[in-house]
Every structure is written in C-alpha cells, then in structure tokens.
C-alpha cells in the first residue's frame, strides 16, 4: 500500500530521473567535476520536462535525485519524491528536509510504501527503487559510472525493475566529451 503526503499527479505523464548520489570520497577531482556536470544535466532535463507539463519523479537522495527535483521545481512543475522511509519518520537524507517541504508546497507529493514510523534501511532503499519504476512511464538514468559502464547502487535496482516491467529505460551519459541518450545501448539522441 502506498501512502502520500501532498497530491499525487494522477493524470500526468511521469518520468523518473535517477542516478548516483555522489562519487566516492577517494575519487579524483575529475570524477567529482563530471558528477557535478551530470547533476546539471539532470537539473536541466527536469526543468525542461516541467515546462512541458511532465511530472518528474525521483528518490530525494543527494546528487542526481536532488538536482532533478530542484530542476523540476525551477521549471514550475510537479515533482514526486519516493522515500526510503515512512512519512512520519524524519526525511532522509536530513539535508533534503527543506526540499521535501518545497515539493509538497509546489503541488507535488512524497510517497512511501512503508509504515509511517519506518526508518531507512538497506531493504527499504531497494523497495523504494522498485516503486520508482512502478510509478513512472519512462526512466532516465543520468550519470557516469565506472569505466566498465556497470550501473551500480539504487540506480541498478530501479533499472532492473524498469526492464522487468517493460518500461522505457534511457541512459544519458557523456561519451567522448559528448552527451548522448542511449536506449538498450543504442544512441537515440546526441547533444
């Protein structure tokens, strides 16, 4: 059962914009700079989606998720945050408490599938990632992953469920200093 704080946008196209939180602390500065560029891409994609009346859904995590929620709000749109905790528990991560309040105030909502007092645990993050795929028509993965290109973390779980549910899954990433959108490893958009 899903629980909502705010208004869930029923009759809208919903896209999920997801990706890594932050690079590990021991990575070179060039990787951190790339992550910052990826966050800017997520922000701009969400802002443009909002201007077209598309709802942006993400997981309220730091990094790509935060950028997507903020970009959508900046574009005057509705954004939905799927939480890894119950609605009565403190917002996770705590640094996004104000962002969660802004989402609801702007007509969006917070979604949780957990008991109200549930705190975040590893299993709640994995369950949250499945719910993100379930509630979205399309999922866009933004971000640079290790050189071998393997999607990791919660992004991996959401992408897995998107494929299982036959959802459209896109990966927006930089290749040879050029951003491209891939669907099933085929380039579909170049920028």
Q: What is the end-to-end Cα distance of the chain in Å, rounded?
A: 40
> How distant, in Å, are the alpha carbons of 18, 24, 27, 78, 150 from that of 146?
16, 11, 11, 32, 6
Omega of the bond prior to 93 within 30 degrees of 0, cis? yes
Residue 34 pLDDT greater than 80, yes or no: no
Q: Kindly report which listed range (103-112, 141-150, 176-185) carries the lowest average pLDDT score.
A: 176-185
With beta carbons less than 8 A apart as the criterion, state whether 145 and 152 touch: yes
Which residue bears the tokens 């896209």? 15
Alpha-carbon distance 83 to 112, whole Å? 5
SS3 state of residue 70: helix
Q: Give pLDDT tens digits for 92-105.
A: 999 999 999 999 99
pLDDT at position 27, please?
A: 56
| Mean pLDDT within 28-54 | 85
Burial annotation 118-149 (CB, 10 A radius, 16+ → b, else e)? bebeeebbbbbbbbbbbbbebbbbbbbbeeee
pLDDT, one tens digit per residue, over 80-130 is 999 999 999 999 999 999 999 999 999 999 999 999 999 999 999 999 999
What domains are there in the chain, each with its CATH number? 3-190 (3.40.50.450)
Give pTM, 2 decimals.
0.87
């Amino acid at each position: 059962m899903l629980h909502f704080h705010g208004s869930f946008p029923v009759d809208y196209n919903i896209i999920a914009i997801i990706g890594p939180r932050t690079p590990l602390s021991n990575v070179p500065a060039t990787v951190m700079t790339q992550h910052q560029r990826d966050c800017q891409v997520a922000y701009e994609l969400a802002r443009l989606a909002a201007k077209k009346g598309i709802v942006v859904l993400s997981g309220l995590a730091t990094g790509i998720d935060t950028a997507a929620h903020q970009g959508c709000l900046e574009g005057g749109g509705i954004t939905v945050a799927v939480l890894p905790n119950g609605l009565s528990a403190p917002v996770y991560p705590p640094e996004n408490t104000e962002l969660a309040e802004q989402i609801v105030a702007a007509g969006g909502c917070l979604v949780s599938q957990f008991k109200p007092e549930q705190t975040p645990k590893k299993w709640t993050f994995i369950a949250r990632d499945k719910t993100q795929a379930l509630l979205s028509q399309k999922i866009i993965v933004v971000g640079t992953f290790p050189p071998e290109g393997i999607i990791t973390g919660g992004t991996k779980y959401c992408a897995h469920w998107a494929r299982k549910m036959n959802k459209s899954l896109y990966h927006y990433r930089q290749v040879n200093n050029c951003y491209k959108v891939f669907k099933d490893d085929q380039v579909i958009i170049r920028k």
